[in-house]
Copies of this chain bind each other. A is one copy, B any other.
Amino acid sequence: MNEIELIERIRKRAGRCSLVLGIGDDCAIFRPRAGEDLLFTTDQTVEGIHFRRSAGAATVGERALARSLSDIAAMGGEPRFCLVALAVPAKHEKWIDEFFRGLLRLARRSGTVLAGGDLAHAEKIYCDVMVCGAAPRGTALRRDGARAGDALFVSGRLGKSWNQPIRPRLAFGLALRGRANSCIDLSDGLSLDLYRLCRASGVAAELEHIPVASGSTLERALHGGEDYELLFTLPPQGEPPRGSLRIGCIVRGKPGHIRWQDRTLPPRGYDHFQKPAH
């Protein structure tokens, strides 16, 4: 199968397309709706770092899209379309097929159109998924809006296992629009992502209670990555969406400083650029 045939196969399965022009030209053409802001995020999935070859290709494809969709959820956006860049070793046509089967299953479920991408060869499997989402002008949730006095919540229990399916919290993110002062998705662990939110907002936080997922540990709930729940703050009288779990509050203090059980909680989550712990 050559590149033209392969792209034709993927195009046939990309489904009904709300774009002016989808797969098959130098660029995809998208016509924005009036009054909408567009949200853009991109996430890499690297063999040996984010998955092993033994993981099914469909699972890898689904997770690759899910990670970017989680960023759209964290901004309170609705996904519109994605671009998928994929590099694989030679003779991986079947793997590619399965990868797109998994990715397109989640794309359909979430209303994301596959608008285009790029195929290349590489020794190890590598992919990068860009997602464009949309939100009414000025309503996107940001991580820099937390204020002292805000209550701090998560959208579900923390410390889940790394290899369970990622369910991007898109509906939850929509429910937070117009309510939350700030939001971030928990991709790298509570301690690190809360640190990022507090730094961006110029505030500190006090943790009161950590809801640990069944079968997990407090340590994993505090510092483990890949939860993909939303972490958000509401003003004092704000009403949290159903399913929200209160974990603490935002206070004045050194930006990024987090208190937990009368001590400082250092940001120890997954930093993609720190050497692995020895």
Contact = CB atoms under 8 A, between A and B. Distances in A.
A12 interface: no
A30 B41 contact: no
B87 A126 contact: yes
Given A25-B142, A26-B75, 12 more contacts: A3-B271, A27-B140, A29-B40, A30-B39, A31-B38, A32-B38, A38-B38, A40-B116, A46-B121, A46-B122, A87-B126, A130-B130
B38 A29 contact: yes
A146 to B, nearest CB: 13
A214 interface: no
**Residue among A27, A34, A185 facing the most chain B CB atoms (10 A cut-off):** A27
A60 to B, nearest CB: 15
Interface residues of A, number: 70
A218 interface: no
Interface of A: 1-4, 6, 20-21, 24-32, 34, 36-44, 46, 48-50, 71-72, 74-75, 77, 81, 83, 85, 87, 90, 115-124, 126, 128, 130, 132-133, 137, 140, 142-144, 184-185, 196, 199-200, 271-275
B46 A40 contact: no
Contacts of A81: 40
B273 A1 contact: yes
